[in-house]
């Protein structure tokens, strides 16, 4: 989390984060918008949101 704003590359695909960065719903990975989009299309994504709301 402490490197979230300082890291330059996506934890998932290694692409530069110049186009934007966001935290993964599944872990603390800092990912690019492209990976985030793929993540939202996963069937597990809705479950991850539900789990997050329970906190």
Question: Is there binding between residue 32 and Zn ion (CB under 5 A)?
Answer: yes
Return the bridge partners of 32, or none. Answer: 21
Q: φ and ψ at 3, to 5 degrees?
A: -100, 5
Within residues 36-55, the interface with Zn ion by CB under 5 A covers none
Would you say 5 or 53 has its CB closer to Zn ion?
A: 5
Question: Is there binding between residue 13 and Zn ion (CB under 5 A)?
Answer: yes
User: Distance between CA atoms of 51 and 17, rounded to whole angstroms?
Assistant: 27
Question: Is there binding between residue 12 and Zn ion (CB under 5 A)?
Answer: yes
Chain centroid to Cα 30, Å, comes to 5
Interacting residues with Zn ion (CB under 5 A): 10, 12-13, 15, 32, 35
């Amino acid at each position: 989390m402490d490197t979230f704003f300082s890291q330059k590359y996506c934890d998932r695909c290694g692409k530069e984060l110049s186009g934007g960065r966001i935290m993964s719903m599944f872990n603390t990975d800092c990912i690019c918008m492209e990976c985030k989009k793929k993540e939202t299309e996963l069937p597990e994504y809705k479950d991850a949101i539900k789990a997050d709301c329970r906190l």
